[in-house]
Amino acid sequence: MEFFIDTGMIDEIENAAKWGFVDGVTTNPSLIAKTGRSQADVINDICKIIDGPISAEVIATDREGMIKEGAELAKIHDNVVIKLPLTEDGISACKWFSDNNIKTNVTLCFSSNQALLAARNGATYISPFIGRLDDIGADGVELIREIRHMYDNYGFDTKILAASIRHADHVKKCSLVGADVGTMPYKVIESLFRHPLTDKGLAQFLADHSKANS
């Protein structure tokens, strides 16, 4: 499973890049707003740090507006992926971008039927929001499993990008059911390093080393 970091904060991306396993970045209007900067400036800076897919989301809600805005975003860098909402206009715009060899990330997916439509129109990535499904009592990871089975049935190339990941257990479960990518906040990636037995074991090793060399 590939790792994307879900943020617009340059310092978080720079720190995550040092770990060596972060493959890409996803952003959205809310994350960009937190930076207090323009989307184009933030995306341009991210592309200097991470040599991988960088999702930039359109603000327009109509097909023509999405196409116009997305085409401009795609000019920033070859790694830019145009993020589109899973609406009728978004899916229609997805087809246009696919036909013009521009990568897309169809977001706000909450059902396997929606994921099927995105794949049919050539989406590069589909982003099921598992945490938000869990919030309403549904099973977000089960949706990942359904989409994986569906895509494998028909040989779709669309990658399943598990989004709205809230904690380390989400990461584990998404990897077990076959998500191609997991995108998550900095704090969630950081939490994957942690285990109390690792800390305890390291403390013991250091204590024993200190005694042996005292």
Q: What is the pLDDT of residue 203?
A: 86
CATH of domain 2-212: 3.20.20.70
DSSP annotation of 137 reads: T
Rounded CA-CA distance 25/138 in Å is 27
Angle at 183 between CA 97 and CA 92, to 5 degrees: 20
pTM of the predicted model, to two decimals? 0.94
Q: What is the pLDDT of residue 114?
A: 98
Q: What is the pLDDT of residue 214?
A: 73
Q: How far is CA 89 from the centre of its chain?
A: 22
Q: What is the pLDDT of residue 23?
A: 98
Q: What is the pLDDT of residue 209?
A: 79
**Domain ranges, ordered by start, for the chain:** 2-212
Alpha helices in 136-167 (DSSP H): 140-154
DSSP annotation of 100 reads: T
Taking Cα atoms as reference points, which of 141, 76, 67 lies closest to residue 104? 67
pLDDT tens sequence for the chain (214 residues): 999 999 999 999 999 999 999 999 999 999 999 999 999 999 999 999 999 999 999 999 999 999 999 999 999 999 999 999 999 999 999 999 999 999 999 999 999 999 999 999 999 999 999 999 999 999 999 999 999 999 999 999 999 999 999 999 999 999 999 999 999 999 999 999 998 899 889 888 888 878 887 7
Rounded CA-CA distance 45/23 in Å is 16
Rounded CA-CA distance 162/128 in Å is 6
Could you give the residue numbers annotated as active site? 83
CA distances from 209 to 29, 196, 201 (A): 50, 20, 12
Q: What is the pLDDT of residue 88?
A: 98
Q: What is the pLDDT of residue 211?
A: 81
Q: Strand 125-128 relative to strand 159-162: parallel, antiparallel, unpaired?
A: parallel
Q: What is the pLDDT of residue 63?
A: 98
73-112: buried (b, 16+ CB within 10 Å) or exposed (e) per residue?
A: bbebeebbbbbbbbbebbbbbbebbbeeebbbbbbbbbeb
